[in-house]
Amino acid sequence: MTNSTQHTEHFENLCAAYVLNALDLEEQQEFEQLLQEGNEEQMQTFYELRSAANQLAFTTERAEPSLAVKKQLMKRIKADTDTSGTAATVTDIKESSSNRSALAMAASFALLLITLALVFYAFNLNSEINNKEELITQREAEITELKNEVQQKEELLSILEARTVDLIVMSGLEVNPNGYGKVIWDPEKKQALLQVSNLPAVPAGKDYQLWLFKNNKPLPSGVFAVNDPSKDSFFKIEQMADANEQNANAFAITLEPEGGSPQPTGDIYLSGNVERDAN
């Protein structure tokens, strides 16, 4: 939800409560300040809600009989002495009925105002709950991302703690000259940590595939996808090809059909040689 939409909804909520006199002093001052700064659409909303509230108030206005009608009724009551008791009773019944009707209308209007106030309160409460839920969802996503980063660092440390570990640097080739990558390889445990950067996002139906060249022959060593090219991506490769420092020549990354291929078929995006000690 944009700030403009939130501001408009906040104005409308305060406006509805304002015309019903349902705001406290602080909220009333806030709305009057918003009203002074309001645009043409907001002013139109205010006039329409105020008009609707005024019409509701008029519907409960009690109709009083004129003075002439009252005098005429009193004359008839005094002249009809034979039925004075009955007339008085009828008059009392009419006045009592009128009072009850007025009270019922007043109670109905009061109930309507209370109902509207509760509706606006429930609407505001629901809006606040939705905002809190969005914030919670956002925080949960951030926590998940942090957990993934911690896990990646722990995996990196576990590989770095190995007795023998090799670092192979991979550079981008013609299809992706700005690409860069590292393979931190533990030949004894046959696992590695792969770091890549500046690789394009994976197209639909495709995967990147890591290859280890053993005696100059490519062996599949895992598939992965890149979703955000602007960030470095880390992948733990747990099923490395069966090779050691003596017969491993190089690592490379190609773009293959989703799920990988038994042999390289796509363009090579990154490549790096395994360096051996001079001894």
DSSP-derived secondary structure letter, 258: T
- Residue 107 and residue 46 share a domain: yes
Are both 253 and 125 inside the same structural domain? no
Question: Percent helix, strand, coil in the chain (nearest 5)?
Answer: 50, 20, 30
Please choose, from the candidates 248, 254, 272, 252, the residue with its C-alpha nearest in 3D space to the C-alpha of residue 169. 272
Same domain, 18 and 112: yes
Within the chain, which residues score under 70 in pLDDT? Answer: 1-2, 55-107, 109-110, 152, 155-163, 276-279
Do 175 and 263 have their domain in common?
Answer: yes
> In terms of domains, do 43 and 134 share one?
yes
Q: Is 29 exposed, middle or buried (0-12, 13-18, 19+ CB in 10 A)?
A: exposed
Instruction: Examine the domain organization and report whether 101 and 200 are in the same domain.
Output: no
The reply to whether 152 falls in a domain is no
Do 135 and 18 lie in one domain? The reply is: yes
Residue 146's pLDDT is 78
- Do residues 111 and 205 share a domain? no
107 and 7: one domain? yes
What's the pLDDT at 170? Answer: 94
Asked if residue 20 lies in contact with residue 113, where contact means CB atoms within 8 angstroms, the answer is: yes
The pLDDT value recorded for residue 88 is: 45
Rounded to two decimals, what is the model's pTM?
A: 0.46
The boundaries of the domain holding residue 21 are 3-139
Q: What is the pLDDT of residue 47?
A: 84
- List, in sequence order, the alpha helices (H) in 161-261: none
**Same domain assignment for residues 7 and 60:** yes
Closest CA to 31 of 55, 49, 52: 49
Number of domains, the chain: 2
Residues 102 and 177 occupy one common structural domain: no
In a domain, 262, yes or no: yes
Identify the H or E element spanning 110. helix 84-160
Which pLDDT value is given to residue 213? 93
